Structure 1
Amino acid sequence: MRSKSPRRRRVLKPNMEKRLSETVPMSKLHEDQAVLYTTIFVGNPPQPLDVQLDTASSDLWTPISGCTNCNTTLIQTQSDHTSSLFNISSSTTFIPTSRGVKIAYGDGTGVGGVVSKDTVSVGDFVVHNQTLIAVESVQGQFDTAGVFGLGWPTLSTSRGNPWWINAIDQFDEPEFGLYLTSPTNVTIAPAGQLTLGGRNESLLDGEPQFVRLLEQSFWAVPLTQVTVTTNSSSATNTASTSSSSATVSLAGDDAVAILDCGSELIYGPTVYVDAVYASIEGAVKNEADGDDDDGWLLPCDTRASLVFSFGTVDVVLPSSLLVQPSPIAQSPATSTSRTSTSATPSTTARRYCSGTLVGDNDASTTNGASPAWILGHAFLKATYTVFRKGTSPS
């Protein structure tokens, strides 16, 4: 659990100069769930709400006191001063409209509510008349008091600008930086930090390398290839040199990836994911249930790492982020070993872990699905990411 202390909030006056950037901490409900959240304040007087951050959507929504089937006992308020819902009757600046909307998410959950407006602040940045959805019904379970979309306006179901677009005139730079803690660095914050209006220079090694944004909807970038490298030394030694490599090239619609802090793993077209694992020594296809999307197992102590190439920019996914932390098998005899040289039953007594790279049969050119690749927490932990708006968004 995390502790919080009340903070003094300033209201931006029309003649006020731009503020500098501000960093707010992020927390995570469970290590194996893609629920990154931070605290926002909604209404007047402001009501603190823990909301999930999502770079793959653009709407801000929160359940309200009149929600008919919202089980607020399932919403984790983390034993702090935050609320599990937004009490609209307590806000003097809440403005409802007559337009109802529904949002459906890829995992089968969804919400329905009324498009509304109110004052919303994050840290010291305040946006008046921010469009939000006052949720009156939900489908499935949500563990936070809403979702805070950080995508582009074209993704918005409410047809309103996402909060960061409305706040950008207050930013020192038209950007926000996202840092997720990795297994080797948990000292920054419980799950990482969100820097609004800039970046945390202390976490950067030199200037960031920007990648061209393909379109202003998702944060979609061109992913040109994935390279498997096998290091000759231990998996935890980042200074080791590569002893072998194999490259999987991508083209067309299959070369599109989105950065999604609302997803835990890395998803790509099954045909390419299978090709990547086929180049990793000791990797085995998990065929226990006869499902092509069951995923892959690989030795927990694998020395393989992946290099994701975005044109001239490379991001290395170390072996520590290629495997999920909990071992699930000892020498899985029911699976088939897939290596670059053979396909034989696995007999070596080793601990096996699930891979963080998962194949998705629906993410393929033939099925017309886009984007092909979803880069979730497992990828974002490997790099500091700056999301920037400008004449050439990146």
Structure 2
Amino acid sequence: MLKGFISLVVLSACYANAVEVVANAGTVAPHTIALQSRRSPKESPLRRRALSPSNVPLADFFLGTDLQWFGNITVGTPPQEITVVFDTGSSSLEFASTLCTTCPQVKFDSSKSSTFVDGGRTSSITFATGVGVDPVIGANYKLTLRSGRDTVGVGGFSAPGVSLFLITAQTPKFNIDPFSGIQGMGATAQGIFAALINQGLPSLFSLYVTPQAVGKAELTLGGTDSTKFTGTPIFASLPSGSGNTWQLASPGISVNGKTTTVLNTARTIIFDSGTSNVLFSTNTANAIYALISPDIKPNPNEAGTYGIACNRISSLPAVIDITFTSQSGKPFNLTIPSSELSVGPFASDPTLCQTLINAFDGLELVGGSLLKHYYSIWDVGGKRMGFAPAVGV
């Protein structure tokens, strides 16, 4: 991904990516695009071996605000159940193991699996975003890993010899996680997802990552669940050269129907299901907050964060519209509503509430605060993303 354990932005893979009100920007009515069938023709041999889509229930990690969604996979023979974040900001599978003496999560014991193969390679990985809503400082989100292979199962499917990494050590910031690891779901199929595609699973997945109050979040492998959205999804193509990154080009951003010279600028925005907050450059974050309230200020005690008095935040209008272009060339907006503005009080000052956008120069990224308002379709084979209004949100 592109984040911390929950928002996995691997630093090594990171993109080296006075307010003037210019105009009122009216809401762009979404242009609907019919969802194309991905079934194989009758004569195709794929039809005989195709796997049907499967739903994987997801739980919501919640500490005053929605933080992360995670579900079950199995590893080994006999299978051991492990909980992982299905993270579109990363591509590998890593989880706590009995080699990690300080990991408090449920741990995989490779000695009890008859199909485990030790890869013998050790490495470390540092993340640019972490669990929760606070910016990463230095290398406080770091994992030490050992390579291996084993049988991995998810959603009733399984595949042998899947590449994976055992966590042998982790920094204390990970200890709060209720899940054991991360299953990368990047824009290029790898690991278990690639293996299932080779078995005949259609090369797409969908996410219904709901607020805790709505519940029933799910991942659908190999298709969509039409009971979880309304209307027809709108699709947008990934830019050329996106590689393993789920990202879309955006011509501009508006806040409460207004934009500025800074916001009305083309940019590429990454979609990361493992990140809670929104990350924008310092100039963009400042421009957005200036259109919400001049009293939203950076918090010098926590670099990259902003805040305002908690007794004021609920009354602030903060509708953030990010414009994209559909495959048919029509503009459409994805909206972060005012209800997402507050991510809770700062630990250092409970009277001051943190706001959802963090400043992070070199990276433009949206996470769960946007995704939980839409049913999202991640079409690996078609190199595109689709969005429709989520049911119940």
TM-score for both structures, normalised by structure 2: 0.72
> Aligned runs of 1:268-279 on 2, under 5 Å?
268-279=280-291
The structure-2 alpha-carbon separation of the partners of 1:272 and 1:23, relative to structure 1 and needing over 3 Å to count, comes to: same
Are 1:111 and 2:143 matched, yes or no? yes
2:116 maps to which of 94, 115, 124: 94
Query: Is this contact kept in 2: 1:60–1:147, CA < 8 A?
Result: yes
Distance 1:290 1:92, change over 3 A: closer
2:314 corresponds in structure 1 to 300
Displacement of 1:85? 0.8
Structure 1 residues 290 and 24: alpha-carbon distance in aligned structure 2, compared to 1, 3 A threshold? closer
- Within a 5 Å distance, the mapping from 1:355-394 to structure 2 comes to 355-360=355-360, 363=361, 369=362, 372-394=363-385
CA drift of 1:267 comes to: 0.9
Between the aligned residues of both structures, percent identity stands at 23
1:150 maps to which of 177, 185, 188: 185
Which AA in structure 1 matches 2:255? V
The answer as to whether partners of 2:162 and 2:192 remain within 8 angstroms in 1 is yes
> What is aligned with 2:73?
40
Match of 2:197 among 150, 168, 171: 168
Are the counterparts in 2 of residues 211 and 313 from structure 1 also a CA contact under 8 Å?
Answer: no
User: How far apart, in 2, do the equivalents of 1:287 and 1:391 lie?
Assistant: 40
- Aligned equivalent of 2:160: 128
Matched, 1:284 2:315: no
Q: Quick one: which of 75, 93, 102 aligns to 1:71?
A: 102
How far apart are the structure 1 equivalents of 2:97 and 2:151?
15
Call closer, same or farther: CA 1:299–1:135 in 2, change over 3 Å: closer
Structure 2 distance, partners of 1:354, 1:171, is 45
Asked whether the equivalents of residues 263 and 375 of structure 1 are also in contact (C-alpha less than 8 Å), the reply is: yes
Distance 1:245 1:317 in 2: 14
Output the CA distance in 2 between the equivalents of 1:188 and 1:176.
Answer: 19
Higher relative contact order (CA 8 A, sep 6+): 2
Superposed CA offset, 1:52-74 (max 9, x none): 2221111101222233xx324x3
Q: Determine which structure has more spread, i.e. the larger CA radius of gyration.
A: 1
Paired positions, count: 313
Cα distance in 2 for residues equivalent to 1:23 and 1:278: 42
How do residues 231-380 of structure 1 correspond to structure 2 at under 5 angstroms?
A: 245-247=258-260, 248-251=263-266, 255-280=267-292, 282-287=293-298, 289=300, 293-297=304-308, 299-311=313-325, 312-324=331-343, 353-360=353-360, 363=361, 369=362, 372-380=363-371
1:28 has 2:60 as partner: yes
After superposing the two structures, state which structure 1 stretch, 46-55 or 316-325, moved more: 316-325
In structure 2, what residue type is equivalent to 1:355? T
**CA deviation map 1:359-379 (0-9, x unaligned):** 22xx2xxxxx3xx31111111
Instruction: Give the drift of 1:202.
Output: 1.4
Change (3 A) 1:104 1:177: same
Q: Say whether the 8 Å CA contact 2:188–2:380 is kept in structure 1.
A: no
CA shift for structure 1 position 130: 0.5
Normalising by the residue count of structure 1, what TM-score does the alignment of the two structures yield? 0.72
Amino acid at match of 1:37: F
Task: In structure 1, list runs of 5 or more residues that go unmatched.
Answer: 1-13, 76-83, 155-160, 230-243, 333-351, 364-368
Residues 16 and 133 of structure 1: CA distance in aligned 2, closer, same or farther (over 3 Å): farther
Confirm or deny: 8 A CA contact 1:171 1:198 kept in the other structure: no
Mark the CA change 1:21 to 1:291 in structure 2 (over 3 Å): closer, same or farther.
closer
Q: Equivalents in 1 of 2:98, 2:347: separation in Å?
A: 42
TM superposition shift of 1:147? 1.4
Asked if structure 2 preserves the Cα contact closer than 8 Å seen for 1:267 and 1:359, the reply is: yes
Uncovered stretches (5+) of structure 2, i.e. residues with no partner? 1-45, 129-135, 326-330, 386-393
Q: Which residue of 2 aligns with 1:216?
A: 243
